[in-house]
Amino acid sequence: MKMTDALKGGAAALVLVATAACGAPDAAKPETEMASQAALPEITITDAELEGNPFRAEWTGPYGAPPFSQISDEHFMPAVKKGIVEMRAEIDAIISNKEKPTFENTILALELSGNSLTRVIRVFSNITNTDTNDTLRALEGEIYPMLTREQDAVTFNPALYARVKAVYDQRDRLGLDEQEARLLELTHRNFVRSGAALPADVQAEIASLNAEISSLTTQYGQNLQNANNAYKLEITDPARLGGLTEDFKNAIKVEGQQKWAVGLSRSFFEGFMSSAEDRELRSQLFDGYRTVASSGEYDNGPLAIKLAQLRAKRAELMGYPSHAHYVLEQRMAHTPEAAIEFLQKVLEPGLARAEEERADMEQIAGHEILGHDWWFYSEKVRADRYAFDENQLRPYFQLDATFDGAFEVASRLFNISIEEVDVEGWNPVARSYDVKDAKTGEHLGLFMVDMYARDSKRGGAWMSTYQASSDINGERIRPIITNNMNLVTPAEGRPTLLSPTEVETLFHEFGHGLHGLLTQIRYPSFSGVYGGPDYVEFPSQVMEHWWSQPQVLAMYARHYETGEVIPQQLVDRMNKASTFNQGFKTTEFIAASLIDLHWHMLSSEEAAKITSARDFELEVLRKYNIPEIIEPRYRSTYFSHIFAGGYSAGYYSYLWAEILDADGFDAFLQSGDIFNPEIAAKLKKWVFESGGLRETDELYRNFRGSDPGIEPLLRNRGFGEPSPAEG
């Protein structure tokens, strides 16, 4: 998942994708720092420019949802400018307050600042991910650097930081409750880690770096989307479509022409690579995928190098050896060296298993297996060894029924109800659901989903927020949470049938959604989805465990035509094959994680010497003996998680979180009840409801009672002995 939560709380918590600054506890000189405030350009906006702007009106629709049909591209910039003007005034009011700094007049006031700007940016960041166009892409290039500049102005305001620090220094005497104390702690921490305590000249240099990083990450993401849209593998001879299902062929058929075209969406890519019998076509698509955005006008190689250099320089200014050291300081791994040590523990059995998998495939193929052969022949081995073909399962995983299954699991675990409601969405395919407490009927949040791929939508699957939860001064606001996927749109009149991987992804993103929906935290800065990726992925990944449990499959996995429940024999074969191809999957993931970490472990001096992104990543892969036949899941030119998202130095976190989710689900397995109410209540309280109330390792221990071990992770990947509970 790549979260696109552009703003978490007030001005002090304004978090822009890939623009977080670093911090160190050195003393600052307020009289010189004031120059950075004076340097802000004046922004003027007239009433005429705002006339009819829906962002300046009260939203009276159900659940506080944005009035999407009333919002046009031209509304964003005026609303952003007005929001900035208002936020500046709110910050000035805090600073000019003649009363001594208190929690209410400084910390809470800061949390409440910037609300009108937040409302605009949440809509803008979501729409540019799902329904972008040339106008919106141009606006991204203007708006995000503006926001970075405003964030730095808040962070580097000496008078504001002095007030925050004054409140923080007397924290033990204020009588704050737990959530108030946590807001104070995190507000102060965010200022320090963003550079508020640094000398003015260092702050100025960091602000310049932040602005450039913001611009480059936007450009990287746009390049990738443009490059993806520009590529199509065209097929004109129907004889070359052998192996593809009729639904897949219908999905890639060019309307009105005797031609088929396959793009680079992961769902299309893996579907084609797994099924297409034409080896030459598989090779062409494979090359198109792994070389996307690596040459021509959309070449992201130079941008990856430049971003690594800028991040390394920024870390150096903050007194850290590297960007990775800065980022991981606040993560569960704490250091990049510890993250790499963990990855190597899993890589070793993964490589050994991958070599076995390769030998099995070559025995069936009768020739050397190359990179573009792996998906196709792994399916042949699966069918041979387990008498199992994933396409046998698709008829049992219809999209609506799968959502019903996910909703039923959440209902049983967390005592909630989920009912579809009629709420206007940003796109006609978006659907909405009212999530309530099943006992009290209290509205907990609005859940909206957008499942289908289109050219205006970025690739992948993710959760994001249109409205954050808060409960300040008696004003209870519940969240609006979205899930997005990129499923193949079926032919007219045909159902949307999912592969097991897509079912797992749906449950994964729904886990993120529940993390945002169930929150009971008062302050937006740490409500809902909070924490580094190594923890944030735990609530989503633990939900993945339920979809394939026989008890759960019986709830929703029914043949879309006959209504027949998925046969137990097929379930048994699926479960026996669940660890199949894990050598490949483990290796491709860890390869990408190591590339990410090594990009961001570079010192400023080392980064300056890099001239080729491809040469750099090849050097990393050779260092860990990763075979050329297994491509990293992402090369540097299309690694949007780390170069256009919030996962720089953190892609390894998905695997780290697997320690937590495997260990966490073990609690249910060991109890003999996958819906054990006592364990589920702890999971709900300490994980899904608690946001960032406490440090993430403490939250996990409160749920589980102990720290997790790596053994369940290795076992789930087929690298260890099965537990007695699993048989």
Given a contact cutoff of 8 angstroms between Cβ atoms, the answer to whether 654 and 541 are in contact is yes
Partner residues linked to 565 by β-bridges: 558
Residue 5 has pLDDT above 50, yes or no: no
Q: Supply 283's token pair.
A: 């090779």
Give me the mean pLDDT over the 561-572 stretch: 94
pLDDT at residue 534, as a whole number: 87
Q: Which of 478, 480, 536 is nearest to 511 (CA)?
A: 536
Residue 27's contacts (CB-CB under 8 Å, 6 or more residues apart) are 197
pLDDT at residue 35, as a whole number: 32
Model confidence pLDDT, tens digit, residues 237-278? 999 999 999 989 998 999 899 999 999 988 889 999 999 999
d(CA 595, CA 149): 30
Helices and strands in the chain: count of H runs, count of E runs: 29, 9
Given a contact cutoff of 8 angstroms between Cβ atoms, the answer to whether 359 and 540 are in contact is no
pLDDT at residue 11, as a whole number: 58
Q: Which residues are catalytic?
A: 509
Q: Looking at residue 398, what DSSP letter applies?
A: B
d(CA 518, CA 447): 11
Q: Looking at residue 693, what DSSP letter applies?
A: S
Residue 108's contacts (CB-CB under 8 Å, 6 or more residues apart) are 183, 472
Model confidence pLDDT, tens digit, residues 629-641? 999 999 999 999 9
Q: Supply 696's token pair.
A: 């993430």
* Cα-based distances in Å from 163 to 30, 37, 432, 505: 12, 16, 43, 45
Give me the mean pLDDT over the 698-702 stretch: 96
d(CA 155, CA 503): 42
d(CA 450, CA 261): 23
The band of 668, judged by pLDDT with boundaries at 50, 70 and 90, is very high
Q: Which of 136, 12, 129 is nearest to 77 (CA)?
A: 136
| Mode of pairing for the β-strands spanning 480-487 and 443-452 | parallel
Model confidence pLDDT, tens digit, residues 82-103? 999 999 999 999 999 999 999 9
Half-sphere exposure of 678 (CA within 13 A, CB side): 7
Residue 290's contacts (CB-CB under 8 Å, 6 or more residues apart) are 371, 631, 635
User: What is the full DSSP assignment across 73-105?
Assistant: HHHHHHHHHHHHHHHHHHHHHHHH--SPP-III
Chain centre distance of CA 693: 21
More confident residue, 166 or 386: 166
Q: Tell me the residue type at 616.
A: F
Given a contact cutoff of 8 angstroms between Cβ atoms, the answer to whether 260 and 349 are in contact is no
Residue 658's contacts (CB-CB under 8 Å, 6 or more residues apart) are 541, 713, 716
Model confidence pLDDT, tens digit, residues 156-178? 999 999 999 999 999 999 999 99
Residue 541 has pLDDT above 60, yes or no: yes
Residue reference for tokens 């499942």: 451
Q: Supply 660's token pair.
A: 């937590």
Give me the mean pLDDT over the 327-352 stretch: 95
Give the strand order in the sheet containing 462-467: 416-421, 431-437, 443-452, 480-487, 462-467
User: 96: buried, middle or exposed (CB in 10 Å: 19+, 13-18, 0-12)?
Assistant: exposed
Q: Tell me the residue type at 541.
A: Q
Residue 44's contacts (CB-CB under 8 Å, 6 or more residues apart) are none
Q: Which of 9-23, 40-54, 170-184, 204-218 has the lowest mean pLDDT?
A: 9-23
Output the furthest CA–CA distance in the chain (Å, rounded): 82
d(CA 507, CA 32): 52
* Structural domains of the chain, ranges and CATH numbers in brackets: 11-224 (1.10.1370.40), 232-291 (no CATH), 298-388+581-651 (1.10.1370.10), 394-576 (1.10.1370.40)
The band of 28, judged by pLDDT with boundaries at 50, 70 and 90, is very low
Q: Supply 380's token pair.
A: 């042949």
